[in-house]
């Protein structure tokens, strides 16, 4: 399947290369670098590239490309899914998957890749089994290994490989048993020039952090589960019960995992919880100015937090002299990024920013879109909520659980400044914490 894997950064440096069959020279990456130079942004590089003798398949994450090379034609989605699993594994082992973390843990990266693929074919991709095979990096463990001469490799076969539940290892014990469920939704919307929502659809996920002892069997019910469409489940979910009862029944993996992803075709328009009023004039000579006001929609009645406004200014912009009524404003002359960090916006006190802009040349230039990030607590827009969570462990049903729900929204919006129709990309996060008392390790 895979002949080689190259990990490269956006600067064109090969961080690491791994070969499973014949060694392929890193000059094969030149085809990828040519495509990267032609792309408008790092995310716009084509995921599949064809060369005279090879196929290049890549995924991009955190300023790093994972580039798989194969000599035969294979299903590209299978390779892309595997590369995403590699990124996820590195993120769980090293806290983040980045240029720096890969360089600092290059030995463990090679060990993980040796276990995940056998002769170029995927072998072990479940995180729990990998953590049994190769212990995650730990400062005390690394010191002990240097003294004793041991490695992070386990000397016993993982129990998950011998059971019909390969995603969960046996013998898991916690002093405090708890599980966290995050509902994350990305909303695509079209907004007309009056600010009204013309079209909206939701792509969502339910991510779980499970810290439960033993072999728990969970049953979760949702509010309005029939709203979900095009649902994709983790292998732990019993699909037949979902089809019949719209109930999520599963034995969860230990640690972090994605329970399901889904799509919602909204019939009613989604209310955008924030507005931006702006007046932007960019032209050569004098007279260029920016005025902007950001605030919550009165109908939402919630406080906006962690608000950040960004504009990627054209290269003709030399400097920005803006004075905000709240927060801090910075302009990077190298990247031409204008950033206004607002923080929390109190109700009835919308912050504003205004000032002049220095532009080279004599002609007017197109104004860039406005990107805005924010977070709102205690608000669930789509209506999807966790209704109940029951746990069956050792043939005993544990109920009367204590629930503490903390819904919140995290959003990222791109506001166009010249077009009548605006394409929004938002991320809403509804966090629900379930604490399961009465279960000692």
Note the pLDDT tens digit of each residue in 14-47. Answer: 999 999 988 999 999 999 999 999 998 888 899 9
Kindly give the pairing relationship between strand 121-122 and strand 178-191: unpaired
> What would the mean pLDDT of 53-75 be, rounded to a whole number?
95
Inter-helix orientation angle 76-94/106-116, to 10°: 140
| CA-to-CA dists, residue 327 to 311, 343, 375, angstroms | 16, 7, 16
Q: Do domains 4-125 and 178-270+379-435 have the same CATH topology?
A: no
State the pLDDT at residue 440: 34
Instruction: Please tell me the distance from the alpha carbon of residue 65 to that of residue 120, in angstroms, as a whole number.
Output: 19
- 416: pLDDT strictly greater than 60: no
Q: What is the mean pLDDT of the chain?
A: 80
Q: Rounded to two decimals, what is the model's pTM?
A: 0.69
> What would the mean pLDDT of 173-179 be, rounded to a whole number?
87
Q: Which of 234-243, 261-270, 287-296 has the highest mean pLDDT?
A: 234-243
CATH superfamily of 178-270+379-435: Mu homology domain, subdomain B (2.60.40.1170)
Q: What tens digit of pLDDT does each residue of 287-316 get?
A: 889 999 988 876 566 788 889 999 888 888
- 198: pLDDT strictly greater than 50: yes
Residue found under tokens 């996920």 = 205
| CA-to-CA dists, residue 20 to 1, 9, 31, 83, 153, angstroms | 9, 22, 21, 15, 20
Q: How confident is the model at residue 228 (pLDDT cuts 50, 70, 90)?
A: confident
- 249: pLDDT strictly greater than 90: yes
Structural domain boundaries in the chain: 4-125, 178-270+379-435, 274-377
CATH architecture observed for domain 4-125:
2-Layer Sandwich (3.30)
For residue 289, what are its two tokens? 């100015």
Point out the least confidently predicted range of 77-91, 213-227, 360-374, 388-402: 388-402
State the pLDDT at residue 352: 94
CATH top class, domain 274-377 = mainly beta
376 contacts 212 by C-beta, under 8 angstroms:
no
Instruction: Please tell me the distance from the alpha carbon of residue 254 to that of residue 177, in angstroms, as a whole number.
Output: 11
State the pLDDT at residue 277: 85
Instruction: Please tell me the distance from the alpha carbon of residue 81 to that of residue 119, in angstroms, as a whole number.
Output: 18
Q: How far is CA 402 from its chain centroid? A: 29
Residue found under tokens 């669930």 = 380
377 contacts 352 by C-beta, under 8 angstroms:
no
State the pLDDT at residue 203: 83
State the pLDDT at residue 159: 54
To the nearest whole percent, how much of the chain has pLDDT over 90? 37
Between vectors from CA 64 to CA 63 and to CA 70, what angle results, nearest 5°? 150
For the chain, the first-to-last Cα distance in angstroms comes to: 43
Q: How far is CA 338 from its chain centroid? A: 24
- Paired with 8 in beta bridges are 14, 65
Instruction: Please tell me the distance from the alpha carbon of residue 54 to that of residue 369, in angstroms, as a whole number.
Output: 39
Q: How confident is the model at residue 155 (pLDDT cuts 50, 70, 90)?
A: low
Instruction: Please tell me the distance from the alpha carbon of residue 205 to that of residue 262, in angstroms, as a whole number.
Output: 6
């Amino acid at each position: 399947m895979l002949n080689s894997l190259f990990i490269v950064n956006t600067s064109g440096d090969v961080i690491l290369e791994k070969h499973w069959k014949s060694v392929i020279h890193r000059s094969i990456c030149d085809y990828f670098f040519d495509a990267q130079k032609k792309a408008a942004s790092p995310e716009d590089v084509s995921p599949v590239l064809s060369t005279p003798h090879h196929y290049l398949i890549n995924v991009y994450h955190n300023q790093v490309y994972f580039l798989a090379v194969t000599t035969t034609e294979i299903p590209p989605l299978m390779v892309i899914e595997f590369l995403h699993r590699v990124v996820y594994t590195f993120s769980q082992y090293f806290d983040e998957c980045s240029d720096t973390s890969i360089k600092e843990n290059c030995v463990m990266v090679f060990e993980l890749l040796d276990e995940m693929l056998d002769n170029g074919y995927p072998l072990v991709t479940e995180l729990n089994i990998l953590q049994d095979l190769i212990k995650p990096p730990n400062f005390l463990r690394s010191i002990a290994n240097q003294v004793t001469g041991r490695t992070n490799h386990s000397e016993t076969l993982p129990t998950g490989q011998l059971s019909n539940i390969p995603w969960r290892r046996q013998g898991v014990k916690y002093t405090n048993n708890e599980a966290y469920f995050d509902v994350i939704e990305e909303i695509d919307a079209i907004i007309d020039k009056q600010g009204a929502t013309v079209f909206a659809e939701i792509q969502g996920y339910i991510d779980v952090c499970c810290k439960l002892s033993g072999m728990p069997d969970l049953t979760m019910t949702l509010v309005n589960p029939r709203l979900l469409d095009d649902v994709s489940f983790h292998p732990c979910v019993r699909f037949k019960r979902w089809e019949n009862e719209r109930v999520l029944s599963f034995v969860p993996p230990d640690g972090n995992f994605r329970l399901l992803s889904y799509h919602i075709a909204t019939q009613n328009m989604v209310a955008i919880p924030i507005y931006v009023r702006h007046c932007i004039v960019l032209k050569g000579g004098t007279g260029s100015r920016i005025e902007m006001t950001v605030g919550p929609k009165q109908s939402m009645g919630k406080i906006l937090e962690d608000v950040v406004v960004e504009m990627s200014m054209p290269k003709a912009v030399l400097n920005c002299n803006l004075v905000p009524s709240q927060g801090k404003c910075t302009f990077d002359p190298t990247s031409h990024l204008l950033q206004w960090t607002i923080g929390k916006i109190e109700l009835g006190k919308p912050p504003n920013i205004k000032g002049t802009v220095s532009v080279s040349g004599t002609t007017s230039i197109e104004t860039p879109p406005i990107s805005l990030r924010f977070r709102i607590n205690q608000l669930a827009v789509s209506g999807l909520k966790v209704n109940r969570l029951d746990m069956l462990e050792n043939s005993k049903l544990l109920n009367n659980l204590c629930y503490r729900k903390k819904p919140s929204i995290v959003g990222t919006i791109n506001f166009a400044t010249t077009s009548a129709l605006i394409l929004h990309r938002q991320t809403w996060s509804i966090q629900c914490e379930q604490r399961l008392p009465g279960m000692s390790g």
